[in-house]
Structures are given as structure tokens and as C-alpha cells.
């Protein structure tokens, strides 16, 4: 099983955008739930580097490129709430990243990013200007966590509780970090896959839920 020396692994500056992301955004004041029974407003498509498609009640995301960060978004506008998605790596090297994005600004391609890896690491941070500027908000980058279920065909549930600039992050019901940051406010949501040197990473996403904070 591949492992990382978490403090020494820098996030890569190569980024590519999945085709067919929608420009129009729907305003949403209530709860949101996507079970991927169909594509809905989620961007799908395929090129030489990546493929995103809804099949079998899940969004399957394949990154063929050896190095890059790829994403698809929902076309929503959300602010405070509890963001949650279920992700399962189906194929490819375990030295990777996959997870969720929130408060996505489609004009600048800036967003908060919460991802895990197939070999048991976590990255929490903010990505600005199409990742020309990226800043880890916890542990100086990737850090190991026993909360992450490692390997293929095992599911990890990622959840972020966001209230103003205060954010708490969970993997499989275990808290993995909390940060305060006010870089971004209201924005879109998304799912992402990142390769770190070898392509062929296939991840299935399901049950993307956003629950407004009570009170």
C-alpha cells in the first residue's frame, strides 16, 4: 500500500476542469439532496483526461491524466449548512485525492476543498483562482488519519459543518479538524478527484446532502 510523508507532499499546481459545467446557478434556501438517480444539473462529459457520468445511481468520476485536479459542480448557491457526500474509490492507485468542494465561486474557480486519499490521508484547504493559489488550512497540507477507510471498494463519508467562517470536518463520523476562515462566502458545491503522479483513478460519489443549520 502506498503511503505519504504528509508534511513533505506538496499539492500539485496542475489543474484541469471537467467539461460541461453549468454556468447558471439556482438559488437554494432549503435542504439539498442528490442521489444521482439521474444527472440533473451536475456537469458530465468526457475528454482525453477525465470522464464524469451518472450511472447505476452514482456519479462515477474517472481521471485518466497522471497529474491534475478535476471537478464537477451542481449549479447551486449555498452558504451555511452541513455538507456531506459518500465516496468510494473503485480503481486506480491509492496515492490520490477525492472529496467535496463548497462555496465554489464559478467566476474565479475558487472554493473550499475537503478531500481524502485511498491510502489514508486528509487535506483541508482553500483553492483560489483555478488553484493558482492554494492554501492548506490544517496541518500544513496532507495529514494521516485513522478515520479514513483505505483501499478500493470501501466507502468514506465526508462531512463539513459550516457556519460563517467556522468549519468542522468529519470522516466517517470522526472529527478530523476544525478551522476558521472567511475567504469565501456563499457558492456552489462540487465533487472532485485528484491524481498525484499516476492516472486511472475511478471514484463513485453518492448521496450528496446539504442540511441547513437549525435555529
pLDDT in tens, 15-74: 444 443 433 344 445 689 999 999 888 989 999 999 999 999 999 999 999 998 999 999
DSSP 7-46: GGPPPP------S---S--EE--S-EEE--SS-TTS--EE
d(CA 117, CA 188) in angstroms, rounded, equals 23
Answer yes or no: pTM beyond 0.85.
yes
Residue 25 lies in a domain: yes
Residue 113 lies in a domain: yes
Tens-place pLDDT, residues 183-206: 998 899 999 999 999 999 999 999
Of 26, 31, 150, 8, nearest in space to 93 by CA? 150
Counting residues of the chain whose pLDDT is more than 90, the rounded percentage is 72
Task: Identify the residue with better confidence: 132 or 7.
Answer: 132
Contact 36, 90 (CB under 8 A): no
What pLDDT is attached to residue 30?
Answer: 61
What pLDDT is attached to residue 215?
Answer: 56
Residue 178 lies in a domain: yes
What pLDDT is attached to residue 5?
Answer: 34
Mean pLDDT value across residues 133-156:
94
Residue 1 lies in a domain: no
Give the number of domains in the chain: 1
Of 4, 33, 65, 13, nearest in space to 202 by CA? 65
Strands (E), the chain: 26-27, 32-34, 45-46, 50-55, 58-63, 67-73, 76-77, 81-91, 96-105, 110-116, 121-128, 133-136, 143-144, 155-163, 166-171, 174-180, 188-196, 201-211
Residues counted in the chain = 215
Tell me the CATH number at 50: 2.60.120.560
Mean pLDDT value across residues 79-105:
96
62-75 in b/e burial notation, b at 16+ Cβ within 10 A?
A: bbbbebbbbbbbbb
Task: Identify the residue with better confidence: 2 or 107.
Answer: 107
Model confidence at 4, in pLDDT bands (50, 70, 90)?
A: very low
What pLDDT is attached to residue 23?
Answer: 35
What pLDDT is attached to residue 76?
Answer: 92
What pLDDT is attached to residue 124?
Answer: 97
Which residue's C-alpha cell is 459542480? Answer: 73
Mean pLDDT value across residues 112-118:
97
Domain region containing 76: 6-211
Mean pLDDT, the chain, whole residue set: 86
Q: Which residues contact 86 (CB under 8 A, 6 or more apart)?
A: 155, 156, 157, 205, 206, 207
Mean pLDDT value across residues 122-144:
88
Whether 148 shows a pLDDT value over 60: the answer reads yes
Model confidence at 139, in pLDDT bands (50, 70, 90)?
A: confident
Query: What is the longest distance spanned by two Cα atoms in the chain?
Result: 47
d(CA 26, CA 24) in angstroms, rounded, equals 7
Residue 19 lies in a domain: yes
Mean pLDDT value across residues 140-160:
97
Amino acid at each position: 500500500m502506498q503511503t505519504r510523508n504528509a508534511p513533505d507532499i506538496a499539492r500539485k499546481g496542475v489543474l484541469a476542469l471537467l467539461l460541461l459545467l453549468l454556468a447558471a446557478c439556482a438559488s437554494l434556501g432549503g435542504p439539498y439532496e442528490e442521489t444521482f438517480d439521474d444527472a440533473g444539473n451536475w456537469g458530465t462529459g468526457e475528454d482525453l483526461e477525465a470522464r464524469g457520468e451518472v450511472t447505476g445511481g452514482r456519479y462515477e468520476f474517472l481521471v485518466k491524466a497522471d497529474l491534475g485536479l478535476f471537478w464537477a459542480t451542481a449549479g447551486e448557491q449555498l452558504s451555511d449548512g452541513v455538507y456531506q457526500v459518500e465516496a468510494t474509490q473503485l480503481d486506480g492507485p491509492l496515492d490520490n485525492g477525492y472529496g467535496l468542494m463548497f462555496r465554489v465561486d464559478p467566476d474565479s474557480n475558487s472554493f473550499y476543498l475537503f478531500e481524502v486519499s485511498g491510502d489514508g490521508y486528509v487535506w483541508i484547504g482553500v483553492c483560489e483562482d483555478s488553484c493558482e493559489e492554494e492554501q492548506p488550512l490544517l496541518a500544513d497540507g496532507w495529514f494521516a488519519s485513522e478515520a479514513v477507510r483505505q483501499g478500493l471498494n470501501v466507502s468514506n463519508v465526508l462531512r463539513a459543518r459550516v457556519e460563517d467562517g467556522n468549519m468542522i470536518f468529519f470522516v466517517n463520523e470522526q472529527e478530523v479538524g476544525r478551522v476558521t476562515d472567511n475567504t469565501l462566502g456563499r457558492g456552489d458545491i462540487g465533487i472532485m478527484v485528484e491524481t498525484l503522479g499516476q492516472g486511472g483513478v475511478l471514484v463513485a460519489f453518492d448521496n450528496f446532502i446539504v442540511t441547513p443549520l437549525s435555529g
